[in-house]
Structure 1
Amino acid sequence: MAKTSPLNTLADLAQNDTDTAARELGRLQGQRTQAEQQLAALTQYRQEYRARMQALMQNGMPSARCHDFSQFLDSLDAAIRQQTEALAKAESQLLAGRANWQKQKQRLNSFDTLIARAESREQQIAARREQRATDEYAARLSRQQVGSGHNQ
């Protein structure tokens, strides 16, 4: 299908939609990765801070300082919960983005299949047309040879 058809136009639009969905999927994957890294960093920091607190408590620490450590650990726990929710949201958005990309890709594949079928039909029609022309030419030659054989 060398000429531009409505099917080609739809396929081009589907390709654009698929490309857009792929870019969005990449962006969502980046957000999810970032959320996961932030959660890991917070969790590691909390573990290190708690270990430091325990070491200081073993050596004896004033209760006011212990209270400060405890409050900071509580705020780290709240940040970890919040980051866990952010990660869950990022994963949910990633799944939705992946589903959208798959839907767009399937739509594009459908148009590609329809275009391939149309091209195949056009090729079959052209081949039949060429075969008819060849058959007619051969029949004409045969008639001419038969006609010229009678004249001799």
Structure 2
Amino acid sequence: MKVKNPMTLLRDMAEEKLTDTTRALGGVQQRLQDAVQQHEQLQHYEREYQHSLRQGMMERGMSMADLVNHQSFVLSLNQVVKQHATHVNRCEKAVDQAKASWVHDKQRLNAFETLIVRRETARAQVETRQEQKLMDEFAQRAGQKRERL
């Protein structure tokens, strides 16, 4: 079994971390999308209920008890919409944090990959120099043999 280069091992670990971070980012983005959709639905419901309340008051009138009940419900609904807006803001912050983590992890992976490429390039240059040196020595020996003959 071949032992992995420590730098390759670190790169692999950084790649796994980036994969995990990517999954987490996808999860928080989905939660944000769901929260925004729910918030929009609540706002739509609030607008519809307020519109129906106005229509009911204008067209057929309303008893004081019904008016108080409807206004109380509208206020409660308004509170829910505000609370849900806070939830949406928290989800947006979570997405921002997850994006920042993803960027950090991606930069870390890129750094390891860059180091690996540099190391491989340096190793290839050393090998090329060694081969060139051997070829020069071989050519020199061959030249010396020809001179002797």
TM-score range, shorter chain: over 0.9
Q: Once the 2 structures are TM-superposed, how far is the Cα of residue 63 of structure 1 from its aligned partner? A: 1.4
The aligned residue for residue 82 of structure 1 is 83
Q: Cα offset for 1:125? A: 0.4
Match of residue 45 from structure 1: 45
2:70 maps to 1:56: no
- The 10-residue stretch of structure 1 (66-75 or 103-112) with the greater mean CA deviation from structure 2: 66-75
Q: 1:142 aligns to what? A: 143
SS in 1 for 2:21: helix
Q: What secondary structure does 1:61 align onto? A: coil
Deviation at 1:64, TM superposition (A): 1.4
TM-score where L is the length of structure 2: 0.95
Distance in 1, matches of 2:49 and 2:64, equals 17
Equivalent AA in structure 2 for residue 10 of structure 1: L
Query: Following TM superposition, by how much is the alpha carbon of 1:78 offset from its aligned partner in structure 2, in angstroms?
Result: 1.1
Query: 1:97: Cα distance to partner?
Result: 0.6
Gap regions ≥5 residues in structure 2 = none
CA distance in 2, matches of 1:138, 1:3: 38
- In structure 1, C-alpha distance between the alignment counterparts of 2:3 and 2:106, rounded to whole Å: 24
Matched residue type, 1:82: Q
Cα distance in 1 for residues equivalent to 2:3 and 2:9: 11
Q: Which runs of 5+ in 1 are unaligned?
A: none
With structure 1 as the length reference, what TM-score do the two structures score?
0.93
Structure 1 segments, 4+ long, off by >6 Å, are none
Equivalent residue of 1:43, what SS? helix
Matches within 5 A, 1:48-127: 48-59=48-59, 60-127=61-128
Task: State how far apart, in whole Å, the 2-side matches of 1:139 and 1:30 are.
Answer: 69
Task: Summarize deviations over 1:22-68 as a string: whole Å, max 9, x none.
Answer: 11011010111111111110001100110000000002111111112
* 1:80-137 CA-partner distances (Å, limit 9, x unpaired): 0110110010011111111111111111111011101000000000000110111111
RMSD, aligned α-carbons: 1.2
